[in-house]
Chains A and B, each alone.
Chain A
């Protein structure tokens, strides 16, 4: 164990950063304690060392710090959190300290919050179907255990409602034990946080959940650590304690904004929209902590939530997320306006791991072709919908009018369901065939004849 070094006074304070001069024996990325005049201790971490000067980011922010009366202690180790199974049922701040008034949970291990990259050779491919009870997801963009599948939303859209519905309903058909849920709040509002807490309490899920809270008025630097603390616990629970963990991370947009703030304070060259060039790698260091490992029982499934600024899916935050995650569920303002819940737009949505989680022996043999046909039919219906607003329905062929009717019906009966409605997969596929039966049989070019014979309902 090495001796930690303490320094009095800092050379410069800039945004969330302090610069300490004359340091020696300080390591890159190590943990720092910063004591202000009033004796309050904050935590931070070394961001850069350059010729005896250390740049330190302060998790709780620098407000109230002075250059002369601040003392800085370098702890000689990276930021770690205590982890244990007893953390389920509890509420923590971004660096894993209890926030619910209870005592610190019994510690089973200390872990570096940054974790280590999982060896790609050790990974096991996710293939187990998770039934969320939501038709748009189960039928069209199936979630599997160990996947990272984000919700792309916009401000004012019901992503929180959808996220809690999924957290509440997610099951593996035929398995007793459910998911341990780790809920990670980053920069969200107090009322949103209490909505989540309440719904966890009501459903009785709280005892099987750990909540990490960094709210809108909490310091942004701590926001950068929050998902890492939570995922460190998730890895412990999944890979040491054999639990299936579902991690909900909301809202990644707030996280990215905190990252941009720190980057600006460090005067780094920005790439798009002021976000640092390493936003992709930084996101990856969070999202890639989902998955399964060969020979271990547990798994980490991630459902990050983000709000797309101006509903723009090409904005760097959704864009770079989509480049890392295994698909995305897109929540749509237009559907929401038309009163459809859940307002999931299936066309830009995708689950890349769906193919291995569905089909014979997993869901149903006709699942993949049915989903594919629904996609193409709904895409066609959308095209015709916009065409018919220009030329009127009369200009369309009979076949085209079938598609229009299909589109409407699909949104009303298949997509729409209640917040507390938990549909079985058979119900979902049954509804799907009802919709497809609105089209002529010959239109179903993506479905093998044997399934058409089995399920197509002639008028």
Chain B
């Protein structure tokens, strides 16, 4: 393979043009300038190539060299991903810190995966077997929580000529040899895969199982299925990041890929500090053991920000291919779209809406389409769920990124600045949010809630909708003029909002609600409503019922009753009902 090399003629921010490079391929990885900055070819005209550079271009000079690598931008996939923190082009930030200190200079070169560390490899195939792409060659216990399944690269197949015996090896050692048509390929515990190319699978499947997040408003009202795609749009400070963190921490996915895309450095630090401490609710192991972090913060180079979502989703697909349920959070996809816009501007492309390139929509579509549940090449079932934060300018959901995102996701958790300013968290608006996954996950939920899930959620949402309508009326006639049954609806809606929908991420008990606790809480509130309605029909005022001592406490059950002690909710409910009946009797 001949290496193509030319000279810089133009530098504008992260975009560089070089001439004399005919033969360079689109999306080829290139070394730019004397500092050998990493770049990717994004346009070719004649013998001039335009390269987007993943590092700050300050000091680059016309005439310096631009050299191709013959390879596309790719990630390394193998043991060493978990518990790692990488930048947008998968450079390990912990290693870079060791090499260069607390600030990131340019031109740092570091392998994505550790080359020295030994992993205990257990082969699962034997010599002489036929293997095809995506099959499992062996396993490595990467963290106490996760078994890393070593995959044959998707584009390799043939007869297994050699497989190494069980033992401790680095990822550079050859663990297997596969021969097909007389050519032999050496396989290591890792392989590379181009980030812009979705990894193949056997068959795409409909989602059916909910991703249990432990967040009540999500699980009960706007569920996401494993393999689904959901957007969290919201103005600044409405809770996109906290919601994403909550899902990364508590959702019942086996692997988490968290992309901090153009956001705050401190938010990554927070994950790095808390995840090793927080425990997976099922296994009791530190959450970090199942997590991969991609951090390309807002002050890091903008082109690497563009690449970060692809790096993340490729890693997610890789774990899906091992047969895991993976959840990926991208916070924030808007910063990625802005990176696209900035590069497009430097390329002097014709802008479409608000300066975004005309291909914004297709890029968003391609990304969200990489979510899904699949039968993998090795016959296991895996899924990749995408949860994308969207940061609309001015909190206006009619802007291009939100509008186009809506076309490709099937759930929308609309965050509301008014709720956030009242400190109603999570500030997910129950009137404007939606999830198309309700019908898919209904069966699962009904089988875990005595068949009642769907009916309960409809009733509760209905009460909340009525509250909204009644508020309009109150605006005209005042609250005192409402008939008693309507006053009761207002009280119950308030109870639902404060005692069920609100969920404090920082409260040790409230932060995660098991499905059972969610079910019991909602049941208690709806039963309360039924009994209170009867009492009202017997002439008892709604305000008397609301003033019952245990009614105020009912709103605090979410914080006072631990997941292991949900039976106490039933006891509590009986107390409330008793109080109502006593009122009736007196």
Contact = CB atoms under 8 A, between A and B. Distances in A.
Nearest to B59: A27
Interface stretch (A115-123, A131-139, A165-173, A427-435): A115-123
A55 to B, nearest CB: 9
Contacts of A448: 556, 559
A5 to B, nearest CB: 11
Nearest to A147: B266
A120 B345 contact: no
A442 B549 contact: yes
Nearest to B260: A120
Contacts of A372: 423
A338 interface: no
Interface in A95-146: 114-126
A397 interface: yes
Q: Which of B295, B297, B302, B498 has the most CB of A within 10 A?
A: B297
Q: Quick one: which of B57, B421, B475, B476 has the most chain A CB within 10 A? A: B421
Interface string A50-89: 1110000000000000000000000000100000000000
A288 B62 contact: no
A50 B476 CA distance: 65
B104 A347 contact: no
B351 A269 contact: yes
Q: How large is the interface on B (under 10, 10 to 19, 20 to 34, 35 or more residues)?
A: 35 or more
B102 A239 contact: yes
Given A50-B10, A119-B97, A355-B506, A322 B237 contact: yes
A268 interface: yes
Contacts of B555: 445
Contacts of B96: 119, 121
B57 A28 contact: yes
19 contacts: A30-B59, A78-B59, A114-B56, A119-B103, A120-B295, A120-B297, A122-B101, A272-B393, A280-B298, A281-B338, A285-B299, A288-B264, A288-B265, A320-B393, A328-B237, A368-B506, A376-B422, A379-B421, A396-B478
A315 B236 CA distance: 12
Contacts of A118: 102-104, 265, 299
Given A28-B11, A119-B96, 20 more contacts: A26-B61, A29-B57, A30-B58, A49-B11, A50-B9, A117-B297, A120-B272, A121-B97, A123-B266, A125-B273, A126-B266, A268-B345, A269-B345, A277-B341, A278-B342, A281-B298, A288-B299, A326-B266, A348-B421, A395-B478
A380 B423 CA distance: 11
Contacts of B262: 280-281, 284
B422 A78 contact: no
A284 B59 contact: no
Interface in A262-312: 268-272, 277-278, 280-281, 284-285, 288-289, 291, 293-294, 296
A314 B11 contact: no
A445 B269 contact: no
A445 B498 contact: yes
B236 A319 contact: yes
Contact of A125 (B236, B266, B300, B543): B266
A375 interface: yes
A347 B421 contact: yes
Residue of A28, A126, A368 with most chain B CB atoms under a 10 A cut-off: A28
A308 B529 CA distance: 46
A218 interface: no
Contacts of B338: 277-278, 280-281
B577 to A, nearest CB: 19
Contact of B265 (A78, A120, A319, A352): A120
Interface of A: 24-30, 48-52, 78, 114-126, 239, 268-272, 277-278, 280-281, 284-285, 288-289, 291, 293-294, 296, 314-316, 319-320, 322-324, 326-328, 347-348, 350, 352-353, 355, 368, 372, 375-376, 379-380, 387, 390-392, 394-397, 399-400, 442-443, 445, 448
- With most chain A CB atoms within 10 A of its CB, the pick from B56, B58, B63, B481 is B58
Contacts of A280: 262, 298, 335, 338
Contacts of A375: 421-423
B270 interface: yes
Select the residue from A120, A368, A390, A448 with max chain B CB neighbours within 10 A. Answer: A120
B11 A400 contact: no
Nearest to A116: B103
B438 interface: no
B9 A116 contact: no
A136 B527 CA distance: 41
A353 B266 contact: yes
A269 B355 contact: yes
Contacts of A126: 266
Nearest to A55: B12
A125 B266 CA distance: 6
B556 to A, nearest CB: 6
A238 to B, nearest CB: 11
B10 A51 contact: yes
Interface string B417-429: 1001111100000
Contact of B61 (A27, A116, A320, A392): A27
B574 interface: no
B178 to A, nearest CB: 37
Contacts of A322: 235-237
B102 A122 contact: yes
A27 B58 contact: yes
A52 B62 contact: yes
B264 A397 contact: no
A381 to B, nearest CB: 11
A28 B395 contact: no
3 closest cross-chain pairs (CB), A and B: A395-B478, A314-B394, A284-B298
A114 B543 CA distance: 62
Contacts of B61: 25-28, 49
Contacts of A51: 9-10, 62
B477 interface: yes
B205 interface: no
B478 A26 contact: no
Given A270-B355, A284-B298, A24 B393 contact: no
Nearest to B548: A442
